[in-house]
Chains A and B, each alone.
Chain A
Amino acid sequence: MTATAEVLPPGFGEPDAEDLRQSELPPVMPIAIATLVLVVAGGIVVAAQYGRPPKLTVPVILLGLAAVLLVVNAVLVFRIKEFARPVFHRVLGWALLAYVVIAGILEYVFIYDHTPARELALFSGMLMLFALDVPLMLSYSVARWQPPDAT
């Protein structure tokens, strides 16, 4: 896209209240992306050892770090004062539904394939973080641009 703000019609491109509020918001998106990176990296480390006795220390550490980041992020979102919470909660609910279904399909595949118990527990933890982190990203990225009183 090459068009720039100056070609926008008057009243259609100026910074609004939501733009001005962005600098006050905590770094939710970078933390959420970092959480996702840790989960994906843990999954790759486990999957790369498929078919031989796995070393789970690194994936467990990655999972633990991801869980801490997710909790920190949830607290940060909870503490935002001026925030479109109704919109956030609505998108969060629907996104959770969608990503729980996706994570459920993956969990089904792992159980169906008789994944050993320790790896299955690890994968289940990663899927749980995945199913919470992505909806958090989606709902936050919508609500951050909505007026706080939007419903």
Chain B
Amino acid sequence: MTDTVTDTAVGTRPGAATDTGLESGGPGASGASEPGVTPPPGTGGHGPPPVPSFNIVPVRALPVVAVILIGLIVAIASNNLWALEFFHVAGGGLWTSLDLFLGLVLGPIMGSLSIPARIEFTTKFMPKMLLIMPTLVAMTLGAGFQLARHLGNLEASYPHHGWVVASYIIVGCMAVIALGLLEPANLAVLFELKKPRPNGARIQRLMKVFIYTAGITGLLQILTILIMTFLASR
């Protein structure tokens, strides 16, 4: 995926609080990302670290998301077994891997980076996550529900129905964690970084929430995979 960061020049911008990257011209119409070129007084070692110019929504990736969602709808409408399997397995595998990688690998690495490095990484990484995670979740759950219905696994008379219900509960927990904690933290970090003077302590707190909740959902997904592989082998 590509994003719309057009310039890596750093510096906070006077009046940047109004440039939220979510403009009123259309979804993700924030393409107007002026390169940050005016470091505020005091950035020479005593002020807040400079923040690279970035867009909250990576506009250029939106067509990719649209293609994936259209493909998902076609797979559901056609009830094509291969397509449903593809969307469910590919989406679930990527979702799990990404969450575990975030929580267990990237989180500790980020903690050891310098503040400017962490900020630069965050401004490039978090906008992409804003699109990648919901897309993977929609792929996995949408195709998964339809696949289970297609195979008859949803029926209350299915011999392993209890395991299916257990997977619902785990997925429900993941949904609450992702929508109630992870996504709000993701968005709040991006808006904080758009301020003329971002609050570093707040960004750290929100990033902790993001990384830890990603790790927790990754671990819950391992439970889901255990149940799914058990059901698939019956």
Contact = CB atoms under 8 A, between A and B. Distances in A.
A122 to B, nearest CB: 16
A49 B211 CA distance: 35
B49 A9 contact: yes
A5 B208 CA distance: 13
A contacts with B: majority SS? helix
Contacts of A87: 20, 191
B200 A145 contact: no
B142 A106 contact: yes
Interface in B145-195: 145-146, 149, 154-158, 161, 164-165, 168-169, 172, 175-176, 179-181, 183-185, 187-188, 191-192, 195
Best-buried of B24, B145, B161, B179 by chain A (most CB within 10 Å)? B179
Contact of B165 (A1, A15, A44): A44
A2 B112 contact: yes
A19 B108 CA distance: 26
Interface in B45-88: 45-49, 69, 72-73, 76-77
Contact of A105 (B142, B155, B158): B142
Contacts of B145: 109
A33 B157 contact: no
Interface residues of B, number: 64
B110 interface: yes
Contact of B77 (A106, A112, A137, A147): A112
A112 B201 contact: no
Best-buried of A3, A44, A97 by chain B (most CB within 10 Å)? A3
A98 interface: yes
A1 B73 CA distance: 39
Contacts of A2: 108, 111-112
Given A7-B115, A141-B188, A13 B200 contact: yes
B47 A11 contact: yes
B33 interface: no
Nearest to B76: A109
A44 B166 CA distance: 10
Contacts of A19: 199, 202
Contacts of A5: 200-201, 204
Interface string A75-102: 0000000000001001100100110011
Interface of B: 17-18, 20, 22, 24, 27, 42, 45-49, 69, 72-73, 76-77, 107-108, 110-112, 115, 118, 134, 138, 142, 145-146, 149, 154-158, 161, 164-165, 168-169, 172, 175-176, 179-181, 183-185, 187-188, 191-192, 195, 197-202, 204, 207-208, 211
**9 closest pairs, A vs B, by CB?**
A141-B184, A51-B155, A2-B111, A12-B200, A13-B201, A1-B111, A33-B180, A12-B48, A40-B172
22 contacts: A3-B118, A9-B45, A9-B48, A10-B46, A10-B47, A12-B115, A13-B199, A13-B204, A18-B199, A19-B199, A32-B180, A36-B176, A51-B157, A90-B20, A91-B191, A109-B146, A137-B179, A138-B183, A141-B185, A141-B187, A145-B188, A146-B191
